[in-house]
Amino acid sequence: MKLLPDARRRGAGHHLIADLALRGYCGAGRIQDAKRWWTFDIDRHHIKVQALRIDHQPQLLDDARWLDYLNGLEHRQIVHADVTTAAKLLWSNLRARVSSLTLPDASPSNAGGLFLSWDRNGKHLEIEVLSDTTYEWFFRERATDISEGGPTPLPVGSIPDELLVRLNEVFDAGR
């Protein structure tokens, strides 16, 4: 079936194709019912997309992406479940204290842990969740040659003030 030139210009081609597909799938008698549900599904999709565009949603999307990544590591047995649980707890503690926190660059370590790192404006912060579910952190500012880190592994439930200060420096530097 050829489209008329003015229909093609208006982008009506996809509607004709959808109609033909519905007729072939549903038969002539049930086409109106199928169209009604098809448009309902599109409307639901648009409502969901609009909800994602609300200002507070990007943080929720980041959290969902991060949890999906951690669950994938656990599911594929790349990192032990205890490590992913510790990383989730650490993430929620950090997110609650540093509102501008973004997703880290992350990768599993050779020792069965998980590296998290952020690089912004010459500042580097790295956290390693260790296989025993504790963590270590390290900060470096290249311009002033400052290096700092936690002296010993910490439990994921505690966040030292020094780490919070450095995280805020990393994320406020870009503003």
Q: Which residues of the chain have pLDDT under 70?
A: 1-61, 173-175
Both tokens of 78, joined, read 């790349």
E-strand spans in the chain?
105-108, 114-120, 123-129, 134-141, 146-149, 154-155
Sign of CA dihedral 7, 11, 15, 18: positive
| Exposure b/e, 70-92, CB count within 10 A at least 16 = b | beebbeeeebbeebbebbbebbe
pLDDT for the residue 59:
62
pLDDT for the residue 17:
46
Under 8 Å between Cβ of 124 and 103:
no
Contacts of residue 25, defined as CB under 8 A and 6 or more positions apart, other chains included, come to: 34
Helix (H, G, I), strand (E, B) or coil at 26: helix
As a whole number of Å, the CA-based R_g of the chain is: 25
Domain ranges of the chain: 5-52, 57-172
pLDDT for the residue 43:
56
